[in-house]
Chain A
Amino acid sequence: MSTSYIERSRGSCALHGALATFGAIEGVVPVIHATSGCGVQYQQGVTQFGGAIPACAAWGNPLSSSNITEKHVVFGGGSRLREQLKNTIKLLQGDLYVVVTGCSTEMVGDDIPAMTKEGREQGWPVIYANTPGFRGSIHRGYELAVHALIEQLPGIPGPELPPEPGLVNLLGIIPQQDPFWQGHLLGLERIFEAAGLTANPLLGLGHGIDRWRRLPQAALTVVTSPWGRDGAQLLEEKYGTPWVELHGIPVGARATGALLDALAERLPVDAARLAAYRQTQESWFERNLVRIAPQYYAGGFQQEFALVGESGFVPGAAEFLVETLGLIPKLIVITDPLAEETRDAWAQPLQSLVDTFKAKLAFAEDAGEIDDLLRASHAELIIGSSLDRPVADELHASFLPVSFPVANRLVLNRGYAGYEGGLAFIEDLGSALLRGRSIKLI
């Protein structure tokens, strides 16, 4: 069954994860060392369905690729890469160049560390990440990119940066694979700022490699998906930075409050200021909930839902839907390829909710399997990816696409993290539920 659904993959390979990550840092120029299709697939596939694109994929911003051919496979692609790197540095302005590799060049064993070292000896700011697709999913590519930056950026000369007190690194949000990546980062930034801290989002508009140079200064790393762990552990090893793991981004008032508590526990924050902020936000949030009451009841919001998405979003979203909005869970599917132990750990906070409502919790990547689960759930509302739309139509269920790939939404800075994010989620959800309604004059 699974083989017939291969084209409906919910994620690309490691190379594309690295490209999405490096591309989301301003001034970083990725140089792909692979066959031409690797870059083309990224630009025409991943960038279409993952919300706002990172800078490197922007129109008019060419993606540099060595486009190797059989000759380079047989004899090694080192000289082709050297040439490509030289030309890229001439043509594309950047603060940092990163060689990322595809399957073919890794199979051949091109010596990328040596090539980039050669470049650095000429004064070029160049590092590398070995990211052949066979190393894993797009998530693994994010990990590899983060790892490469933490390990290699200190070797690139840069400006002395004044310390930023209360700095908190954010890891775990994967550009494009999370279509709301930019908005989620912005939402978290806002929360930290309110707590008197400074978020170090590392990715997104306005953030360049200086953000990464500040990594060692941070007092804490906050990880919002299992894919941020590897980087957080490395930072702990190298700089002794402690880290905390959230089970996904906080959606709405409850989870955001819990995050603020966790921060206050670990970092010296102004307790009075924090309490005041919480109070204002919570009351504002509550009052907004009251404002939707007429539509909530008339529109029959209290529906049985299925939620399909990644570990960085699903737990927070599920909790919000059930605890805050009073919807009824039937099926929760986590789609990113988590290790067995991680699955258990991530199932745990969802357990009571699943037990109470006799809902089903599944870990599945295969679209066919997910289709079957959705059908069996008889959900009235499906919150998932555009791949889940046909089954939603089949079930006459309301449908809201939030997970990669998202085909029919334009996402820029929208996100569901924090207080405002919770309200945005309600708006989107409500719009999905009210989609079939027409005006009847009384």
Chain B
Amino acid sequence: MSAKTAKHIAIYGKGGIGKSTTTSNIAAALAEAGHRVIQIGCDPKSDSTTILRGGNDLPTVLDTLREHSKVKLEDISLVGFKNILCIEAGGPVPGVGCAGRGITAAVELLRELHLFEQYEADYVLYDVLGDVVCGGFAVPIRDGLAQRAYVVTSSDFMAIFAANNLFKAVAKYAPSGGARLGGVIANGLIAPYAKRLVDDFVDRTGTHVVGYVPRSLVVNQSELYGKTVIEAAPETDQAEIYRGLARHIVENEEVTIPRPLNGPELKAWAREWGDRIFSVEAGEIREQEAI
């Protein structure tokens, strides 16, 4: 694809689960370790790269495409922390238009602009809105664009549901050259049963967790400074955790095709966990060991 073959990595997850935060910190850790990185936000929210560029303005690809017929790379990118090239695909106003087609159009434009060759990136990270809501959002994993996909999840059922949907998309497209799964990133687990629930889910689906990112105030604080943890609090444990994730991505290239649960299986699995959590809450069984 490029003179220097970039590794394209897509990070999916339900809205608000911490995709952009996690992706940006991974990007920052990769850049800090000397890699050239591009981060592309594929989410109409257009805030994927905010903490990489200190909150500086960045027109989205689609807004620019709407206003101008000819688009230059300079118009739609901004160099952020440690030379990370930041891009936001953007999207329509909520409730109108088709965000999925928007992602497709934006990615097509980036290809036409020879972005990947020109910037000679080592890593291209796609931060993609979670649920694989339609074909458009599957573009990064579908068209041989990204080789690897990761999914960010918590122990919330809706986050797991979105992860399972992504598994379905990966399983569907992988045989025809689509991306495979790098693994699951567990973010912000708090509940006592959370880790076991996520672990059980990855077991059932033939995948694995590549890192547990604890919920941390440092993240919120850094966000308020408009920075990643890597930039704002490089000495913290949290920064080290993101560096660990980045290392994992660099060092472990093995990928899997997940075995998503079908509708009834997922429902039964969730019920089972509902019962177990209820037992804990009711104090019938001793915490931790019970699950």
Contact = CB atoms under 8 A, between A and B. Distances in A.
Contacts of B101: 70, 73-74, 108
Given A74-B105, A76-B96, A108-B96, 6 more contacts: A71-B66, A73-B97, A73-B98, A75-B92, A75-B93, A78-B96
14 contacts: A71-B66, A72-B97, A73-B98, A73-B101, A74-B66, A74-B105, A76-B92, A76-B93, A76-B96, A76-B97, A107-B98, A108-B96, A108-B98, A111-B96
A110 interface: yes
Interface of B: 62, 65-66, 91-93, 96-99, 101-102, 105
Contacts of B91: 74
Contacts of A110: 96
Interface string A86-118: 000000000000000000000111110000000
A108 B98 CA distance: 5
Nearest to A111: B96
Contact of B105 (A70, A107, A109, A111): A70
A72 B105 CA distance: 12
The 6 A-B residue pairs with the shortest CB-CB distance, nearest first, are A76-B96, A76-B97, A74-B102, A75-B97, A75-B92, A108-B98
A75 to B, nearest CB: 4
B70 to A, nearest CB: 14
Nearest to B108: A70
A356 B65 CA distance: 68
Contacts, number: 42
B62 to A, nearest CB: 6
A199 B194 CA distance: 73
Contacts of B98: 73-74, 76, 107-109
A46 B93 CA distance: 37
Nearest to A74: B102
A102 to B, nearest CB: 14
A75 B62 contact: yes
Contacts of A107: 98
A46 to B, nearest CB: 28
B66 A75 contact: yes
A74 B96 CA distance: 8
Contacts of A70: 101, 105
**Quick one: which of A70, A78, A110 has the most chain B CB within 10 A?**
A70
**Quick one: which of A71, A74, A75, A110 has the most chain B CB within 10 A?**
A74
A196 to B, nearest CB: 55
Contacts of B92: 74-76
A401 to B, nearest CB: 42
**Quick one: which of A70, A71, A72, A75 has the most chain B CB within 10 A?**
A75
Contacts of B62: 74-75
A163 to B, nearest CB: 45
B206 to A, nearest CB: 34
Contacts of B97: 72-77, 108
Contacts of B65: 71, 74
Interface string A105-138: 0011111000000000000000000000000000
A305 to B, nearest CB: 49
A137 to B, nearest CB: 25
Nearest to A107: B98
Contacts of A75: 62, 66, 92-93, 96-97, 102
A141 B59 CA distance: 42
Contacts of A72: 97
Contacts of B105: 70, 74
Interface string A395-429: 00000000000000000000000000000000000
A31 B93 CA distance: 25
Contacts of B99: 74
Contacts of B96: 75-76, 78, 108-111
B67 to A, nearest CB: 10
A75 B102 CA distance: 8
A107 B91 CA distance: 16
B118 to A, nearest CB: 23
A72 B65 CA distance: 11
A73 B97 CA distance: 6
Nearest to B134: A107
**Quick one: which of B65, B93, B98 has the most chain A CB within 10 A?**
B98
A115 to B, nearest CB: 11
Contacts of B102: 74-75
Contacts of A74: 62, 65-66, 91-92, 97-99, 101-102, 105
Interface in A176-190: none
Interface in A319-364: none
Contacts of A78: 96
A73 B101 CA distance: 7
